Amino acid sequence: MKIISNVNELKNYLKIQMKTIGFVPTMGALHDGHLSLIKQAKKECELIVVSIFVNPTQFLAGEDLEKYPSRDEADKKICKLAGVDVVFLPKKSDIYGSDEVSLKAPNIRGFVLEGATRPGHFDGVLTVVNKLFNIVNPNYAYFGKKDAQQLNLITLMVKQLFLDVKIVPIDTVRESDGLALSSRNIYMSKEQRVEALKISRSLYEASKMIQKKIYKTEKIKEVMSEILVPLKVGYIEILNRDFETIETIEIGNTIVLVEALIGNTRLLDNIWL
Ligand code: AMP
């Protein structure tokens, strides 16, 4: 496995490989969710590149950039065991200059849900993913459905900027008790972790209601918000796959999303129905 920090070194290495490249962008502190992306990439591609870069431009002032978990040595081992070919581990100065060209997230889809409370977050996400795509030039790139809005906006960027990469969405990996894996879960105390289970429970309840043919989204959101008490809920939304609000569930075209704050830890989760 190669570990490369320098952009030109990576570009030159990949240019001569003549293999199908699968790319998994991450911010490190790897867990089984990331591994599931890597495993799918291994099934579909001949050469796997994982990037580990805590992208400063997607953090707003006062967010957890400084304390975001960093586990480079453990991450390298995980990648090696998973059969990754190249780990790209750039420094901030490898990716960003001083007076930067940047991408803007779309005015509507980029400023609802996560974008409403974190304005500018998706400008940073799209800018870095576009840069990483230009460096790695992958055939396939793997993203978790857990970050549904991110996945939606990246798919839109690929389409609107006519990029030559296929985006592959991957199902959310959970703990056995339902908690969605996240690098931020380590911020929570034992008690907070128990509280956090209300998030996945509210989503399972939504799914059960839909199985019972309760299709009115207002009713489902009402029941979910009862389950989520006393958490500080950022949003409960029920959208179609184009990220438009719906009043009635469309089976096969619905995403139920929750954002809630547990202590200072913001957790996202969703279920695709
Ligand atoms: P991050 O390192 O948090 O930026 O995540 C890197 C990629 O892993 C993103 O595409 C995430 O959506 C994905 N990811 C994070 N958590 C999970 C999970 N529990 N299951 C599946 N994919 C995930």
pLDDT digits 0-9 by tens, 212-259: 999 999 999 999 999 999 999 999 999 999 999 999 999 999 999 999
Protein residues whose CB sits closer than 6 Å to any atom of ligand 1: 26-27, 33-34, 36-37, 143-144, 146-147, 170, 172-173, 180-183
Cα Rg of the chain (Å, integer): 19
Whether 2-170 shares its CATH topology with 188-266 is answered no
Q: What is the pLDDT along the chain (273 residues), one digit of tens a residue?
A: 999 999 999 999 999 999 999 999 999 999 999 999 999 999 999 999 999 999 999 999 999 999 999 999 999 999 999 999 999 999 999 999 999 998 999 999 999 999 999 999 999 999 999 999 999 999 999 999 999 999 999 999 999 999 999 999 999 999 999 999 999 999 999 999 999 999 999 999 999 999 999 999 999 999 999 999 999 999 999 999 999 999 999 999 999 999 999 999 999 999 999
Point out the residues that are catalytic.
Answer: 34
Question: In ligand 1, which atom is closest to the CA atom of 145?
Answer: 12
Going by alpha carbons, the residue nearest to atom 5 of ligand 1 is 26
| 3 state DSSP class of 21 | strand
Single-letter residue type at 13: Y
| 3 state DSSP class of 169 | strand
Q: Which of 187-207 are b and which e, b meaning 16 or more Cβ less than 10 Å from the residue's Cβ?
A: bbeeebbebbebbbbbbebbb
With beta carbons less than 8 A apart as the criterion, state whether 263 and 189 touch: yes
**pTM listed for this prediction:** 0.97
Cα gap 18→111, rounded to integer Å: 39
CATH class of 2-170: alpha beta
Q: Which helix (H) or strand (E) holds 170?
A: strand 166-170
Alpha-helical regions (H) of the chain: 7-15, 32-44, 72-81, 92-95, 114-117, 121-136, 148-160, 190-211, 217-228
**Residue ranges per domain, the chain?**
2-170, 188-266
Q: At what angle do helices 190-211 and 217-228 cross, to 10 degrees?
A: 160
Cα gap 223→237, rounded to integer Å: 13
> What is the average pLDDT value for the chain, to the nearest integer?
97
CATH of domain 188-266: 3.30.1300.10
Read out DSSP for 196-243?
Answer: HHHHHHHHHHHHHHHHTT--BHHHHHHHHHHHHTTSEEEEEEEEETTS
